[in-house]
Structure 1
Amino acid sequence: MNTINALFQEFILECNYSRRLRPETTRGYNAVFLLFLKIMPEVTSPKELTPEMLNEFFRRIETRPRMVGKTVTSGVKKSTIKTQWSKLNVFFVWLKKRGFIIESPLKDIKPPRPNYDDFRKLENSDINKIYSSIVRCSANALTIRRDTMMVSILLFCGLRKGELISLHVSDLDLIKNELTVRAETSKSKKTRVLKMHPTLAMHIKDYLNERRKLKTEWLIVATKGDSGLTRHGLKHWVKSLILKSGVKFHLHQFRHTFACKLCEANVNVFKVQKMMGHTDIAMTMRYARSMRTEDMIDDIGKISI
């Protein structure tokens, strides 16, 4: 008998080896599916995948108690539900194509439309706090140079977290002042070359000079040993920086800030798309939600009647 779990493992094998999806993508599918199994343990076969059952899944997600810090709470964001809907639907469509179900049970269930009113661009004051906390609280010179460079890469290149920790020293060209994001580490599966901002170039040179005795090929090294920073290490780095700076942020906000700064500088949106590594310009336009009308007073002043 083909259980849902067995079929999902087959789906993941195809994602990894036939479709060659990024590990980040398959990790997302795994996380949502494991949550689905946990919330709906009574569902074990494809024939039990019905619209009614999926509605029950979302109801349980919305009402289940969970711990946030030391507080018991319930409810989830619309964006979280939309993510879960999207990732589950990819698997359900796969089941349909292989004849295990007639239709995706989500076919007639529309996902919520998130209200992106949480302006995700980092303010200049927050950026200054983050930089100053690195200098003020770091244990040694190498950590100061590394963390300063990491923040600068995020701000001036808009890299995704996977692209950031996958950088090699060989991806830098300090003569041409260029940073290369390799196709195998990029979500778009395309190599892109970014020009370095002078501030970033300076921070990279300072860091490379400080870590000159290390042999690892990874650009961003762990605090202990001669190895690259892991995803777990990056997660810890973010938490530590939040505590030190007093700025509550998540890593993707640097990417939003990069996009908004380019738009505010009137950079052509097609150029922004290329620098962000988006295959669809509609995705680039979504980052414009971080721009606020109160930041556009100079543009309004340009109107002539």
Structure 2
Amino acid sequence: MRASHAELIEREQRFPAGHRLGYPGYAEEMRKLCAEFEADFGPDPLSVNRVIAAFGALPPEAFSEPYRLDAEALERVSHTVQRKYVVRFKNIRRSWARLLEHMPELMVEGGPPRDVLEMSSAHGATLEVLRHFGHRAVGNDYANFLGWRDGPDSRFRDVNGAELSDTVDNHHLNSGDGPVTDWPYKPFIESQGLDVRLFDAGHVPYPFADKSFDSVLCFDAIDHYCHPKDWMTIIGEFTRLARQSVLVILNPVQQHLLTDESYMEPFRAFQSEMRSYRANGFSCIHAGLQRNRLTVFKLMHLG
């Protein structure tokens, strides 16, 4: 038999927060769930295709043509790029779904053109999508060194710390005097005629004037730039460059780092600071989940 309204209220009085141990029991249960949540590397409950289907907005057929790579370019990327990023339409679908979910204002046919900077553009699919909708899309990339062959790891340096191109002369991505002249995704970017600027995103300020872009996007990349204790400095640079919005999506923390409190404590602090962000005229208007983690943060200029 269903409980009456009075019985439901009486039950809540006996078991506050719906737990037999009351609110303290609920809080302990949530603490354990939080630890499980951080360790969960399960896939997103909504696949890319399900997101696109929910919006009823398919990428145009023109995007289904593969990258135009000659034999030399194909040989290069076969040694430097993961196989999953070689299929152009898969890349397009991932970027299309992300923008539909989090930047719908940029996905309007005939909408106002915007100036958009994407940090760490990789294969450039997001730039392709933005260009399709008439936006001026500028990308950034750099040859990240995430412990490559026991070399330096950009994820643990300080912001404005070690200049990686000065320390990895034998990686064959540098001219020898410091500047990066090549990077893994260059063949994809050139095949699509995209505008990508090369600079180390772990060093600020970036080579753009204040308020150069309407929006700044950074997907699965900020953890490559520096240690999480300095990520808010990177966010400050994003808001310096943006006039309207900033969208940041984090990578999930790798499992071997989940027990490293020197990493996790500033990571959690970053999540908290982003949820309550109020600086440079920007405020956080959305904090969301991706890959079962709190990793999505959208800032808007509300001043």
Determine if the TM-score, normalized by the shorter chain, exceeds 0.5: no
TM-score, normalised with respect to structure 1: 0.24
Q: Which structure has the highest helix share of the two?
A: 1
Q: Which structure has the highest strand share of the two?
A: 2
TM-score, normalised with respect to structure 2: 0.24
